Amino acid sequence: MMRNPILLKEFRQRMRTVRAPMVVTGYVASMAVLTFLLLYENVQGQLYLIQPSRSEQVFFVLSLLQMLVVAFLTPAFSAGSMSGERERRTLAVLLTTPLSPFSILFGKVLASSALQCLLLMASLPLYSLVFLFGGAVPQEVVAVLLFQLFTIFIVATISVMWSTIALRSGWSTVLSYATVSFMILVTGTVGLGLQSLAKNPVDGFAASWGHTLLSLNPLWVEAALENAVHGGTLPWVTFALFYVIIALILTPFCLWRLRPQWLRRIPGATRMNERNYQ
Amino acid sequence: MIFTQHLTKKYGRVTAVDRLNLSIREGTVFGMVGENGAGKTTTLSMLSTLSTPTSGHAVINGYDVVKNPSAVRHSIGFMPDSFGVYDDLSVDEYLEFYADCYGVDKRVIATRRSDLLERVGLSDKRSTYVNALSRGMQQRLEIARCLMHDPPVLILDEPSSGLDPRSRMDMRGVLRGLREAGKTVIISSHILHELAEIADEIGILRRGKVAAVAAVQVMLQHSSSQRTLWLESRSDPSLVESVLAADGHVTSMEFRDGGVEFVYMGTYEGQSELLAALVAAGVKLTQLTERATDIEALFLRLTSEVGGSSHDA
């Protein structure tokens, strides 16, 4: 993986700026303050009031907040990755190297999700406070962390793909944030709305669609992993399948942008579509 | 080394390159000249595998650009006309990145990088960030970048565009170095006389077709044996005319603006003898200058003289 030249270059470019340590420091400091406030608020300053159930609530709020932050932060780092290359006029040269479109995209995805992964790792010690007071079990923390890493990866992948397909960074940013909004706001509000509808007259259709939509919401899936809501046996499977399929659907369009010649492998595709993206 | 046959590229109804035939031998520096929209960039774009021909074939270093693009990419170093750089990398890191893209051995990178930076005159800028380099230095860095994987073929699209005269001169030096290194180079430009200093052969593109191809050496020999001269004197024009007419190398005299413009078809020794004859005849010379040769006009005339426009280089 580290042999990917794009990844190495992106690490050099991104991590040597002042922005990277500032973002990490600011994030960890904010999360630390928030954790302290949540714990303090829970016990009202009386340490003997600390109970495992309250500590679990702190973990729940913290992890959901963390998911929300990284989900909205990821497009900021990935939405301009490929369109930026085009705008800086470095893409043409990159495409004349023997690097395959997959390794270019893979390098971009890993590089643009690296900082958010670092944020998650840097905030892990805060969870030790939760362990200190009991409540959350290590398996739960590991499951939440892995799911958060997967969500970052999938958001970064789709954002990089939008960035490859859209000709301008402005458009790719809009499309990436629209995707994240769908993942969090649309699936959340519509899913919960359908479920609340289903409570009054027994409506299996609304309940089932509500549940399906909520399965596509990372906050809800995470809550299910923490047993805060009922999400079925493997709540993350529907989520993972759906977004992987979305990424697979976008892949041919990315290849069309990067190597229009590959269109010839698709039966019926005409040479007229082989326009220069660079 | 570079061979195209009926290479065509169409964008909708517009034909950017129209049945282009080229044959460039190994070690040749081939200059491609043409106005804006003549099809130079589109041709180079197809040769560098960035776009696919609508029809026809192009072969570089034995590999077809459509059937085996990956092998072509290993064989070429491409510099586009309008390129960007990664500003926040140092010169060393910049070259290392591209060497990694081509899978160059780590042990080779260091020595080759030093050698190339020396060649393009940037060895004292190794730790400098690319955004701190001048435009001319960035263009020379691009040449070094093209050479990091030691390709046999270089495709350079307007490598001197946007440079000041000093930087253009430096760039010409770098390009001459490529010829000495035995690389096969295809350079596009819209300035013919600049290419004439670097290239072995030159082809003119017009509306997507090769209008003419000729060896630069032939052009230079021709231009040195045929010169347009301007003579001014304080003597009677009829005296000047009689002396000039007596010289067998003088053709097409035209008296105007107090002087005479004539074409001299001979060597420089012969020209000196003509000058001596004028002085001996009592002509009071005030000025004798050589008019700049319109190299493009000469080129087109020459190619038509040698049997019309040869479409193969």
Q: Report the distance separating Cα B313 and Cα B309, nearest Å.
A: 10
Distance from CA of B85 to the nearest CA of A (A): 6
Asked if B78 and A16 come within 8 Å (Cβ–Cβ), the reply is: no
The answer, yes or no, to whether residue A55 has pLDDT greater than 80, is no
Asked if A97 and B98 come within 8 Å (Cβ–Cβ), the reply is: yes
> Nearest CB to B66: which of A89, A261, A275?
A261
Q: Judge if B271 and B161 occupy the same domain.
A: no
Q: Judge if B167 and B183 occupy the same domain.
A: yes
Give the rounded percent of residues in chain A with a pLDDT score beyond 90. 38
pLDDT at A270: 53
Q: Judge if B29 and B161 occupy the same domain.
A: yes
Q: Pick from B184, B202, B221: which residue ends a domain?
A: B221
CATH of the domain at B248: 3.30.70.100
Residue B233 touches chain A, beta carbons under 8 Å: no
Nearest chain B residue (CA) to A107: B101
Q: Report the distance separating Cα B230 and Cα B287, nearest Å.
A: 8
pLDDT confidence bin for A46, thresholds 50/70/90: low
Q: Judge if B194 and B233 occupy the same domain.
A: no
Q: Judge if B167 and B265 occupy the same domain.
A: no
Q: Judge if B258 and B147 occupy the same domain.
A: no
Q: Choose, out of B15, B50, B68, B76, the residue to mutate when testing the contact with A (most A CBs < 10 Å).
A: B50
Nearest chain A residue (CA) to B156: A93
Q: Judge if B92 and B240 occupy the same domain.
A: no
Q: Judge if B14 and B102 occupy the same domain.
A: yes
pLDDT at A132: 72
A224 vs B94, residue with greater confidence: B94
Q: How many CA atoms lie less than 13 Å away from A278 in the CB half-sphere?
A: 24
Q: Report the distance separating Cα B65 and Cα B61, nearest Å.
A: 10
CB neighbours (10 Å) of residue B219? 20
Nearest chain A residue (CA) to B77: A96
Amino acid at site B195: L
pLDDT at B310: 41
> Nearest CB to B50: which of A16, A96, A98?
A96
Residue B50 domain-assigned (yes or no): yes
The answer, yes or no, to whether residue B308 has pLDDT greater than 50, is no
Q: Judge if B186 and B253 occupy the same domain.
A: no
Q: Judge if B207 and B288 occupy the same domain.
A: no
Q: Pick from B221, B236, B262: which residue ends a domain?
A: B221
pLDDT confidence bin for A266, thresholds 50/70/90: low
Residue B309 domain-assigned (yes or no): no
pLDDT confidence bin for B312, thresholds 50/70/90: very low
3-state secondary structure of B155: strand
- Enclosing domain of residue B271: 226-292
Over residues B262-290, mean pLDDT: 87
Q: Which residues of A touch B100 (CB under 8 A)?
A: 3, 5, 8
Asked if B49 and A96 come within 8 Å (Cβ–Cβ), the reply is: yes
Over residues B152-163, mean pLDDT: 87
Residue B278 domain-assigned (yes or no): yes
**Predicted confidence (pLDDT) per residue in A110-169, tens digit:** 999 988 899 888 888 887 777 777 767 778 888 889 999 999 999 999 999 999 999 889
pLDDT confidence bin for B197, thresholds 50/70/90: confident
CB B259 within 8 A of CB B248: no
Distance from CA of B180 to the nearest CA of A (A): 25
| Residue carrying the six token digits 């295809």 | B186
Q: Which residues of B touch A274 (CB under 8 A)?
A: 51-52
Mean pLDDT highest for which of A191-195, B87-91, B179-183? B87-91
Q: Pick from B221, B238, B271: which residue ends a domain?
A: B221
Counting one residue from chain A and one from chain B, the pairs whose CB atoms sit within 8 A come to 77
Q: Which residues contact B150 (CB under 8 A, 6 or more apart)?
A: B112
> Nearest CB to B51: which of A88, A272, A276?
A276
Q: Judge if B143 and B283 occupy the same domain.
A: no
Q: Choose, out of A1, A2, A9, the residue to mutate when testing the contact with B (most B CBs < 10 Å).
A: A9
Over residues A231-240, mean pLDDT: 79
Q: Report the distance separating Cα B74 and Cα B65, nearest Å.
A: 11
Chain B, residues 52-71, CB within 8 A of chain A, namely: 52, 54, 66, 69-70
Q: Choose, out of B85, B100, B157, the residue to mutate when testing the contact with A (most A CBs < 10 Å).
A: B100
The answer, yes or no, to whether residue B151 has pLDDT greater than 90, is yes
Asked if B51 and A274 come within 8 Å (Cβ–Cβ), the reply is: yes
Q: Judge if B54 and B142 occupy the same domain.
A: yes
Asked if A97 and B102 come within 8 Å (Cβ–Cβ), the reply is: yes
Distance from CA of A207 to the nearest CA of B (A): 51
| Residue carrying the six token digits 């919960």 | A192
On average, the pLDDT of chain A sits at 84
Residue B302 domain-assigned (yes or no): no
pLDDT confidence bin for B149, thresholds 50/70/90: very high
> Lowest-pLDDT range, A247-261, B101-115, B209-223, B278-292?
B209-223
How would you class B164 by CB atoms within 10 Å of its CB: exposed for 0-12, middle for 13-18, buried for 19 or more? exposed
Distance from CA of B76 to the nearest CA of A (A): 8
**Predicted confidence (pLDDT) per residue in A71-124, tens digit:** 999 999 899 999 999 999 999 999 999 999 999 999 999 999 988 899 888 888
pLDDT at A195: 81
CATH of the domain at B39: 3.40.50.300
The answer, yes or no, to whether residue B174 has pLDDT greater than 90, is no
pLDDT at A247: 94
- Domains identified in chain B, total number: 2
Of B271, B79, B106, the residue nearest B188 (C-alpha): B79
Chain B, residues 113-152, CB within 8 A of chain A, namely: 145
**Predicted confidence (pLDDT) per residue in B42-92, tens digit:** 999 999 999 889 889 999 999 999 889 999 999 999 999 888 899 889 999
Nearest chain A residue (CA) to B11: A272
